Amino acid sequence: MTKSKGNHNRGLLSYLPWRFKFGRQVKRDPLPSIYPPPLPSTRLPIRERPLPQQQADCPFLHLPPKLRQCIYNEVLGGRFIAVGLVASRTLGHCIVHSAYYELPSPAEPVSLRALLRTDSINTTLLLSCRQVYLEALPTIHRYNTFGIHVCQLETVIASGWGAHCLPDIRSLHLYHDYHSTPTPPWPAVFQLLRQIRLKKLVFEFAFQLLEWSELSPQRDVFNTAWGRGVLSMKGLGLREFRLYFAAGDPPEALVYRATITDRFCRAIIRPEINPLVWRRSQC
């Protein structure tokens, strides 16, 4: 047991952006260039098949459907799930990994890096029977917020979620660092986002206000590839749009963020949908 725990700890340390070894600061090894294989495109139509007769002594299935849904929400929902690619030395390629955090209060705009870790989702409930699986699986996607690096979104969908889950996802927090990664293919990113029935969309950019960036105050944000992508979300049921910058920006960044967030909210969100969010964006 001790040896296994030690190997596990060494594996975790190898994934950190920086690790300390013999008193020196050493960069982590690069991720393997091989991405995880995509999930199968064909699925068994278990929803269309008739359910077998349930056992009469199953008290849980005798509960009203609304009460069962409340239990699903408590067990499987209410978390911020950071999803990303992690190197696997045993498999020789990246894997899709999830980390679980406490969901921040809507009244407190919290950056991705300020969230607190929490318990992972216990998915054994989904293995109890087919009826519970069909009832509970959408809860994971509808009642959690998913945080993903923009450049990994396509791979996470293809190899981690599966396209069949997209209609059930409601809240996304997308992160991008202009310092370490190139400009994302925004048209392809927003083409994927338009396939999701999003209610809340958050962008977090880890950079200071650089003149060459797409969100520079010297540029017309509406006419950038990112801005046109945000405008393409109009009429798709989006109820909340937010924008964060990394800590360390000058004071004028707060004013700039509020200004462009307000402009996009006015353009893509009808005020009668969620007056509270609308008023907050005007503050």
**Tens digits of residue pLDDT in 39-55:** 777 777 777 777 666 66
44 located within any domain? no
Which range marks the domain in which residue 240 is found?
30-37+60-282
Place 29 in a pLDDT band, splitting at 50, 70 and 90.
Answer: low
Q: Which of 217, 189, 191, 188 is nearest to 203 (CA)?
A: 189
Q: Are residues 80 and 140 in the same domain?
A: yes
pLDDT at 45: 75
Q: Are residues 5 and 119 in the same domain?
A: no
Q: Are residues 68 and 13 in the same domain?
A: no
Rounded distance between C-alpha atoms, residue 81 and residue 143, angstroms? 11
Burial zone of 238 (CB within 10 Å; 0-12 exposed, 13-18 middle, 19+ buried): buried
Q: Give the count of beta carbons closer than 10 Å to the beta carbon of residue 55.
A: 8
55 located within any domain? no
Kindly state the percentage of the chain with pLDDT values over 90: 26
Could you give the number of structural domains in the chain? 2
42 located within any domain? no
pLDDT at 14: 38
Q: Are residues 165 and 221 in the same domain?
A: yes
pLDDT at 17: 38
Tokens of 232: 């393409």
- The residue-averaged pLDDT of 175-190 equals 83
Has residue 199 got a pLDDT over 90?
A: yes
Q: Are residues 24 and 132 in the same domain?
A: no
Q: Are residues 89 and 15 in the same domain?
A: no
Q: Which of 177, 174, 156 is nearest to 165 (CA)?
A: 156
Rounded distance between C-alpha atoms, residue 58 and residue 252, angstroms? 60
Q: Are residues 102 and 233 in the same domain?
A: yes
Q: Are residues 15 and 86 in the same domain?
A: no
Where is average pLDDT lowest: 61-65, 196-200, 204-208, 214-218? 214-218
Has residue 127 got a pLDDT over 60?
A: yes
pLDDT at 8: 41
Q: Are residues 118 and 9 in the same domain?
A: no
43 located within any domain? no
pLDDT digits (tens, 9 = 90+) for 222-236: 888 888 999 999 989
Judge whether 94 and 85 are in contact, CB under 8 Å: yes
- The residue-averaged pLDDT of 9-26 equals 39
185 located within any domain? yes
Q: Are residues 256 and 140 in the same domain?
A: yes
53 located within any domain? no
